[in-house]
Structure 1
Amino acid sequence: MMRKNQAKRKKSQEKEKIREKQAKNEKTRKIKSSPDESKKHRSKTENIRTRQKNMITRQKS
């Protein structure tokens, strides 16, 4: 009887640890993905700026 309870408790603790790890992983994924998105946005604006500069230089020449 005692061993069964201990085994159940151990299994539930292991499951909880796994859940905590998964939650941490998802948080870090969100943190890691957010700067990438901002970089994409920056590159888009930089592309637009360079395009505008190129258009101006073409018009001048």
Structure 2
Amino acid sequence: MAPTKEEEIKLKNYNGDLSKLGSAERFLKAVLDIPFAFKRVEAMLYRANFDSEVNYLRKSFQTLEV
């Protein structure tokens, strides 16, 4: 679900304390600061795959240690 144009503008212009925003709003604000849509998609994919990549690397390092 994509934010409306009004929601995008509000997030882009928000200059208050970021800790008062929810995690989804903070993430969306960071993504909206990326100027190109393709880069936004790459950032979202990176975040979506981060945990599985870390788990894969941990298993690989455990294998190397053994």
Say whether the fold is shared (TM-score over 0.5).
no
TM-score range, shorter chain: 0.3 to 0.5
Which TM-score applies when normalising by structure 1? 0.34
Greater Rg, structure 1 or structure 2?
Answer: 1
Which TM-score applies when normalising by structure 2? 0.32
Greater relative contact order (CA < 8 Å, ≥ 6 in sequence): 2
